[in-house]
Structure 1
């Protein structure tokens, strides 16, 4: 059965290549770095649900057109809706996206995501939850939401909290960029393959006719390389990451980093301090609470909680940092957001707790995830 758009057209945001038992899904907004629109999320959800119920489909291969896999969700549109008084349109966007994330995290069939390029925000949600995540020398990963006045969502409180030690706190709070070798080392990726080998790998994967993950793993293993972790990677100093980012509060994390920096300035520690000082104070505090709760929750619980959080962000009753961050970074591009509250000490525990409460709004309901009969298939779920 053929699904989606098979013709290569710049007007088709999702392309599908039907190879009998393998469906290759291509994100096709290269000029926008494949940022996920509501239309794309809706179509992806429809496709993945159809494939799961089609016994002839054994494998779903997901990749991006151009130099990005996916640079995130199309948040500029969401912010425009907020400015026009339609925050619920943004809530609909995140609702559908989080359901897609949950479907992927509990998928009964193997999903292979080829992350050859930029992978950020919503792009992580559309790939990290899947069983196989292949990175290359071109991969650049980040969860940069705290710099936008949002917070790492799409189930990040689940998959980042499962990284070794407190590396997830480091990645989520600072928005630091990881390359392919770092993603492999910390477990965000399952395989490293050089980009020149991808055509051969894809060709062989498209000949798969059984949905046995071990068989797929054997195919990928033919093309893997063992990459070298760069000397200045924070992952080489996980003991310092853990020492600093295990602290109870964002203020304590920052203080610990500054103490470390006094002994040996420069490198990733200085960069982390700068990131924390320029990010939204509210975003930092709500994400720290989010990832700490995520350690003790399943992926579904994390997504349901994150949906409450994002709806509060969209409503802007405590802080309007999301709109301001998007203005400064994405629209005016002055890179000088005026956060409110502007300091960490002005963000109280009560303000943070508000983001975790039910939304008191007419016709608003908690995220309703579809019933799933299977356990999470994602390799992340086993960490």
Structure 2
């Protein structure tokens, strides 16, 4: 469903593509538009490769020079591939790879499923124990999300397992064996796929330096209402403990776009109380407002500093949190212009998740 949605949006929103081309021209990167037409097609095809097995297909993102980030053209090609695979009764599931990472999706009555079914939580004991359990769960879901969203940090495999974001962990040396095993399957039964994955799964444990061991500090620092208060709390904690993690986290926040920090925090906080549809619309508005450069060019500046010039020295505008006004932040959540319609979700055609 999401792939079909992307295709519709790509057809209806040509001005988004124009923004992308202008951005590429602005920084004189390897612009596909400067290539002959035949080379453009070849280049785009090479950015998403395909491997076929009897009962499955594998899409391979092939842009390692830019960390395999998706472009508009790549999204269109993936949509075309996914649609054809979804409508093919002989394909049970598909896999996606990039930089050695493997994930899969099953095709049956629905396009995608949450692997392993719904989460199961049990709380046997006194009411106070249950309250503590759910307080800890709240911290994991919300405070950890705010930490990741504001700092740009990533979770490793063990941390994703611990948080329930992944179901299986395997060493990279086993990926080829997993792919071979999945390629031999002639069914889309989740239990069969799970059994196949479990054959190569490894037990993993959190490192001593994992952020998941610092939930109390996260709760203490990232539960504040504003970015300024979060940074003040981290500074206070750093002055008391001289902890390396606090110092590193504080440095990342100070290096980030001040406007981006405030927009991100507002988005995360609003998402707590919104449906999936509302979250998708909010993220869509934020994305287009970000590349429109109407309030700030921080998005393009961040890409320039990180991926184009790679000088890691962005010049943010506004340059400080104090100069970020409420109106600037609110603009990222406002409806789009008449020439750019809001995200239209095909809710009437939505398929049920299993």
Same fold (TM over 0.5): yes
Structure with max Cα Rg: 2
Q: Give the equivalent residue in structure 2 for 1:144.
A: none
Q: Give the equivalent residue in structure 1 for 2:213.
A: 236
Secondary structure class of the residue paired with 1:334? coil
Q: Give the equivalent residue in structure 2 for 1:364.
A: 340
1: CA distance between counterparts of 2:288 and 2:242?
39
Matched, 1:219 2:253: no
Q: Give the equivalent residue in structure 2 for 1:166.
A: 143
Structure 1: unaligned runs, 5 residues or longer:
1-8, 71-102, 112-129, 133-160, 378-383
Q: CA offsets, 1:69-122, max 9 Å, x none? A: 79xxxxxxxxxxxxxxxxxxxxxxxxxxxxxxxx99x992457xxxxxxxxxxx
Q: Are the aligned partners of 1:59 and 1:110 in contact in 2 as well (CA < 8 Å)?
A: no
Secondary structure class of the residue paired with 2:269? helix
Q: Are the aligned partners of 2:168 and 2:201 in contact in 1 as well (CA < 8 Å)?
A: yes
Q: Give the equivalent residue in structure 1 for 2:156.
A: 179
After the TM superposition, which residues 17-96 of structure 1 pair with which residues of structure 2 at under 5 Å, given as runs? 17-64=51-98, 66=99
After the TM superposition, which residues 275-294 of structure 1 pair with which residues of structure 2 at under 5 Å, given as runs? 275-294=252-271
Secondary structure class of the residue paired with 2:184? coil
CA pair 185-39 structure 1, distance change in 2 beyond 3 A: same
2: CA distance between counterparts of 1:12 and 1:333?
24
Q: Are the aligned partners of 1:58 and 1:110 in contact in 2 as well (CA < 8 Å)?
A: no
Q: Give the equivalent residue in structure 2 for 1:12.
A: 46
Aligned Cα root-mean-square deviation (Å): 2.8
2: CA distance between counterparts of 1:214 and 1:110?
15
Further displaced range: 237-246 or 176-185? 176-185
Q: Are the aligned partners of 1:280 and 1:342 in contact in 2 as well (CA < 8 Å)?
A: yes
Query: Would you tell me which structure has more helix in proportion to its own residues?
Result: 2
Matched, 1:350 2:327: yes
Q: Give the equivalent residue in structure 2 for 1:245.
A: 222
Secondary structure class of the residue paired with 2:195? helix
Matched, 1:373 2:334: no
| TM-score normalised by L of structure 1 | 0.68
2: CA distance between counterparts of 1:346 and 1:30?
37
1: CA distance between counterparts of 2:139 and 2:335?
26
Aligned length: 288
| TM-score normalised by L of structure 2 | 0.73
